[in-house]
Amino acid sequence: MTKSHETIEFHATSGVFIQSDHLINPDDLERVFNLYLPFIGATSYALYHLLVNELPFANSHLHRQDHNFLIDSLNVSLPNFVKFRRRLEAAGLIKTYHENDAVGEVYGYRLLTPLSAEKFFKEPLLASLLYKFVGEERYLELQKRYDKQGQDVLVGNDISARFLHVFQNQNDMNIPKTPIVYQEAQVQIDPVNFKFDDFADMIHGASRDEVEKHHNFLVAMHLNYGVDEVTLANVVSQSVTLDKHEINERDIQRQLRSISNNMRLSKTATEKILRPNDEQVPEIKNSEARALIELARHTNAQDFLMYVKTTLKNGLVLKNERDLVDYLLAQSALSMAVINILVHYVLIGLQNDSLKAALVTTIADSWTQNHVDSPEKALIQIQQHQQASQTRQEKRFSRSKKMEKTTPKFLKQAEATLESGSLDSVPSDEAAAALAKLKNIKTKN
């Protein structure tokens, strides 16, 4: 067996043993599906579910399976199996053990129960990963799903019966003691390029115990915002409260968001300065276009979408349209004003009933490559595209007019014959000869 940081290679005939310290029930699998699947992937979830399903058949140590069974069941290659298994390990859902016995290599997979929903949303690494992959709307919906159900508050006095009022205390019973081991999933944090000890020594105003208390949160901030130890230590030091010397997580997130936005704006400005042949944007003189630009600049993308769909088109805003706008805001390099112009162009300019993902992403990709970074440039891009389309249509029309059909000679003779009166003018001897000639022609069919 060879090990590396990227993958672990082994033979598919290596043995497999499965164990779980606790019963993994359908509620646990549902939490894995809703909370873990967005970032571990569907195949990793399928692997976890398969291992859980095989637990009742793995009680005997003599029942030795190999990895061929798992690989064939999931229809994946061996390297991909390792990749999906490592995702489960990183998320704290399984632990993998390796040894060599008399038969050969053997791997033990110890299944761990997923975190409860309350602990999951308090775990910064897992919660931030879920938020990154599903977005704010879905994240809040999942929080509500696993939050308190029913009425917010129940009024009145607690009149519930007590235990000894209903049941007798049985002190004379000897209950057998069975050690119950319950191990919940925990994320293993081992960042490669982040030295937490050196980072903790740079923080001023807070004790080492206070820093360790926020260990997972601080590592999550490093991973999400990509800041180094020195930058993060300065931010944490500024967030420490003066009275209790505690670390304020909300203040850290606020500062990091501000740093991230400033870095993005600085990068955009630098690219604009260094961009070759940067042309001056001509002034938009059309009053309606100027009004559209002002509206696009000062309106939130979701509000702009709602204005176009409900006011201009008398329609409804669809969920996939909201998701598509959120995707453009998060993933594309286009500004909010440019995205608003894009939405207006697709729905009003091209007269589509709804936003189609393929069309919108194609236009967004084209505008990104052409460095469309303002609504004025977006309108110019639309005008240039329309002019090019019109020119192509005119060329096709002129070409079709020039391509006149040449009338064959025999058709001209037929037309002349028809114009002269009737077919009776054709000599009967010539017609009979022509028919005889046609009968003598032999064809393959």
Residue 302 lies in a domain: yes
Q: Does some domain include residue 71?
A: yes
% pLDDT > 70, the chain: 74
pLDDT of amino acid 9: 60
**Residue 44, token pair as written in the block:** 């990793």
d(CA 91, CA 93): 6
Backbone dihedral angles phi then psi of residue 106, each to the nearest 5 degrees: -145, 140
C-alpha 213/C-alpha 208 separation (Å) is 9
Q: Tell me: the pLDDT tens digits for 200-209?
A: 888 888 888 8
Kindly state whether residues 215 and 252 are assigned to the same domain.
yes
Instruction: Answer whether residue 351 is part of any domain.
Output: yes
The 10s digit of each residue's pLDDT in 355-377 is 988 888 889 888 888 888 888 88
Q: Whole-model pTM?
A: 0.46
- Give the C-alpha separation, 160 to 64, whole Å: 52
Judgement on whether residues 394 and 291 belong to the same structural domain of the protein: yes
Q: Note whether residue 146 is domain-resident.
A: no
Is 188 domain-assigned? no
Together in a domain, 268 and 348: no
Evaluate the CA torsion angle 230, 232, 233, 235 in order and state its sign.
positive
How many structural domains is the chain composed of? 4
Task: Report if residue 29 sits inside a domain.
Answer: yes
Residues 209, 314 within the same domain: no
Please check the confidence at residue 438 and state whether its pLDDT lies above 70: no
Rounded to whole angstroms, the Cα distance separating 255 from 216 reads 18
The tokens for 308 are 């176009």
Q: Write the CA distances from 8 to 1, 2, 4, 93, 282, integer angstroms.
A: 8, 6, 6, 18, 58
* Alpha carbon separation from 419 to 308, 410, 416 (Å, rounded): 62, 14, 5
Closest CA to 47 of 7, 1, 96: 96
Domain termination site, one of 217, 241, 274: 274
**333 or 276, greater pLDDT:** 333
Q: Which of 7-21, 63-77, 83-97 has the lowest mean pLDDT?
A: 7-21
Q: Which domain holds residue 270?
A: 196-274
Domain edge (last residue) among 274, 300, 322? 274
CA–CA distance, 45 with 32 (Å, rounded to integer): 7
Q: Are residues 415 and 384 in the same domain?
A: no
pLDDT value, residue 306: 87
Q: What is the mean pLDDT of the chain?
A: 78
Q: Is residue 413 located within the same domain as residue 312?
A: no
Note whether 220 and 328 are same-domain residues: no
Q: What is the pLDDT of residue 278?
A: 46
Band of the pLDDT at 7, cuts 50, 70, 90?
very low
Q: Three-state SS string across the chain, please?
A: CEECCCCEECCCCCEEEEEECCCCCHHHHHHHHHHHHHHHCHHHHHHHHHHHHHHHHCCCCCCCEEHHHHHHHHCCCHHHHHHHHHHHHHCCCEEEEEEECCCCEEEEEEECECCCHHHHHHCHHHHHHHHHHHHHHHHHHHHHHCCCCCCCCCCCCCCCCCHHHHCCCCCCCCCCCCCCCCCECCCCCCCCCCCHHHHHHHCCCCCHHHHHHCHHHHHHHHHHHCCCHHHHHHHHHHHECCCCCCECHHHHHHHHHHHHHHHHHHHHHHHHHHCCCCCCCCCCCCHHHHHHHHHHHCCCHHHHHHHHHHHHCCCCCCHHHHHHHHHHHHHCCCCHHHHHHHHHHHHHHCCCCCCCHHHHHHHHHHHHHCCCCCHHHHHHHHHHHHHHHHHHHHHHHHHHHHCCCCCCHHHHHHHHHHHHCCHHHCCHHHHHHHHHHHHHCCCCC
Domain boundary among 118, 144, 160: 118
Residue 138 domain flag: no
Do 292 and 388 have their domain in common? yes
| Contact (CB, 8 A) for 230 and 200 | no
Is 258 found in the same domain as 296? no
Q: Are residues 326 and 350 in the same domain?
A: yes
Instruction: Give domain status of residue 341, yes or no.
Output: yes
Q: Are residues 341 and 395 both part of a single domain?
A: yes
415 plus 343 within the same structural domain = no
Is it the case that residue 121 has pLDDT exceeding 60?
A: yes
End-to-end CA distance of the chain, in Å? 70
Q: In which band, very low, low, confident or very high, does the pLDDT at 62 lie, cut at 50, 70 and 90? A: low
Backbone angles phi, psi at 16, to 5 degrees: -130, 125
- The per-residue pLDDT for range 128-149, each reduced to its tens digit, is 888 888 888 888 899 889 888 7
Q: What is the pLDDT of residues 70-94, one digit of tens each?
A: 898 999 888 889 889 999 998 889 9
